[in-house]
Structure 1
C-alpha cells in the first residue's frame, strides 16, 4: 500500500513547509502543486498574456520545465497570478493528470496544494487541512518578504491574502475546501517546528487508526 499524504490549506498557512517536513520524515517524494500554477502565472506574464483570459492561461500550461527552477516563482506578485489562472477549468484540467501521476508513484508521496484531498488524491491515506488566521499568515508572509529584501506593507499583504482566500474558496472549479475526512491543523499559535511536530503526531495517529505502518 502506497502512503499518500494530502496537505491542503490557504496561502501562507505553512502547508508547504509541513509537507516538505512530512516527506523527509516518512521518506516520501514531495510535490508543491502550487508551484505548477505559479509557473503558469509566470509564463502568462512572460508572454504578455492576460491571466484572467482562459485561452491565455491555458496556453501557458505548456510552460518549459526549466521554468520550475525560476526563483521568481516565489515572488508575491507571481503568487497572485497563480491564484488568478487557477480559476480556469482548462488550466486545472491540464495540470491535474501530472499531479495524479505523481501521487500514484511507487512508494507513495506527499502533495500540498488547495485541492489535493478533494480532487487530486481523494483516496489519499491521510489528509491534512492546514490553516491559520489571516493575521498570523500575513505576519509570516511579511517576515518572509523582509528576509528577501521586499518591504511590502503588512496591511497590503493581509488584504492580498484575504482576496486570495475569497478567490480560492469561491472559484467554480476545485475550490479550496476542507475534505470531509481531513484532519484540521490550525497553527495560528505555532511556529514552524511546532507545526511539523503536530503534523507528524496527527499523521501517526491516523495511520495507527487505519492499521497502516509506513515502510
Structure 2
C-alpha cells in the first residue's frame, strides 16, 4: 500500500479553545509530529520571569532580547504521557509554564518581534518533512501560510474561562473564576491587537466554534477536514 502524502496542519485560535488538546489528538491518530508553539512562548516568558526581566507588570524588553541567544528550546517525547514535553536549556519546564503567573505574561512576551522571529525560525525548521500538526496564534498566517489545512478555533470567552478554571482547580490551584475570565479577555485583547503577527483568521482557514462542543465532538469535527484534505493530496 502506498503511504499517503503528508501535509502540514495549522491550528490557530483563541486561548482555552482546546487547540493543544485537539492538535495532540490529531497527531497521535494520524501518526504526525505535534509541536506546541504556545509552550515555546510560555517557556520564554518563564525564562524572562526567572531572570528578573519581568517584575510586577514591567517587562525589560531589551534585556530579554539581548538574552535570546541563551535560550535553547526543544521537545522530548514522553512515552508515559503520550506527548512531547518542552525543555528550556535542558530543564523540563512543562510543569511550570502552565501557571496563571506565566499565562498573565506570555502575550506580552509574544508581542516582541525579536522573540517571534527566533521562535518562528525554529518552528519552520521543524516542518521540513511535513507530517506535522502545529497550534498557536499565527501558524496559518505567518509560520505556515502555505499549510494544506488550516483550522481556526473559537469559543465564547465565558465558556473558555470555565474550561480553564476547571482545569486549574482540578489541579489544585486556588483561583477565582473572575480572575481566570479577566486573564482570558486580557489575552484576547493583547493577541488580537499586537503590532507583530496579531491573531487573525487566515482567509483559507476553516473556523470551528466549539462553545457547545465536547472534546470528542471537536475532534470528530476536525477529523472530517483532516481526512478530506489528506485524501486530496
In 1, Cα distance between equivalents of 2:220 and 2:158: 22
Alignment check: 8 A CA contact 2:154 2:209 kept: yes
In 1, Cα distance between equivalents of 2:18 and 2:72: 27
Q: Secondary structure at the match of 2:96?
A: helix
Post-superposition CA distance 1:148-202 (Å, at most 9, x none): 1012111111111101000000001010010000000110001111111111012
Aligned partner of 2:71 in structure 1 is 63
- Unaligned runs of 5+ residues in structure 2 are 74-86
Q: Secondary structure at the match of 2:52?
A: coil
Q: How does 1:52-131 map to 2 (within 5 A)?
A: 52-61=59-68, 62-65=70-73, 66-67=87-88, 69-70=92-93, 71-104=95-128, 106-131=129-154
Give runs of ≥4 in structure 1 deviating > 6 Å: none
Instruction: Give the helix-richer structure, 1 or 2.
Output: 1
Alignment check: 8 A CA contact 2:6 2:230 kept: no
RMSD after superposition: 1.5
Post-superposition CA distance 1:80-115 (Å, at most 9, x none): 2211101111111111110001122x2520000000
Aligned partner of 2:180 in structure 1 is 157
In 1, Cα distance between equivalents of 2:113 and 2:67: 13
Post-superposition CA distance 1:45-88 (Å, at most 9, x none): 11111363321332453324432621111112112221110111
Alignment check: 8 A CA contact 1:168 1:176 kept: yes
Alignment check: 8 A CA contact 1:41 1:60 kept: no
- Unaligned runs of 5+ residues in structure 1 are none
Tell me the TM-score normalized by structure 2. 0.85
Tell me the TM-score normalized by structure 1. 0.92
Instruction: Give the strand-richer structure, 1 or 2.
Output: 2
Q: How does 1:2-41 map to 2 (within 5 A)?
A: 2-41=6-45
User: How many residue pairs end up in the alignment?
Assistant: 209
Q: Which moved more, 1:70-79 or 1:118-127?
A: 70-79
